[in-house]
Amino acid sequence: MQRILFRLPGACAIARLCIAPVLALVALGSAAQIAAERFPAAAMTFLDAEMPQMEAAVAARDRDYFEQAMTRMLDFSETWGFRTRANPALARYSMCTEALSDFTIVGLCRIAPSLDGCEPGLPARFDANVRRCRDMSR
């Protein structure tokens, strides 16, 4: 059948036009999978850089840090597509996405525990998610 297909005039060009998009989708899927596998390490790199700054901000009662940190977290999440659900491959790393989403809230709640969203179990859940994400990053 392959011989017949390529004997037809223009069949080679048609085949290339049909196969190229399929190969591109396969490559894109592979790239997304590789990227998803790197997400826990990237999340922990981000959190490891932010956590000491957050501790200093809590000690200084510096609320400005949290606004800037939230912007950095949103930029990070857009890069990976987890806040917009654009990257469903990250669903298996929910411990990392939740840790990233919660870290600014946890810090703000340490400064002002009466803020909306400050739940008694939030710090423990955050710590557990960070530990699980760190385990996944190895």
Return d(Cα 130, Cα 31) in angstroms, integer: 25
Return d(Cα 51, Cα 44) in angstroms, integer: 10
Average pLDDT per block of 10 residues along the chain, 138 residues long: 45 41 38 73 97 97 95 92 78 93 95 92 97 96
CA 53 to chain centre: 20
Helix spans in 81-121 (H): 94-111
Per-residue pLDDT at 117: 87
Per-residue pLDDT at 85: 67
Per-residue pLDDT at 31: 40
Q: How far is CA 41 from CA 37, 62, 77, 90, 113, in A?
A: 8, 28, 14, 12, 30
Per-residue pLDDT at 93: 94
Per-residue pLDDT at 35: 80
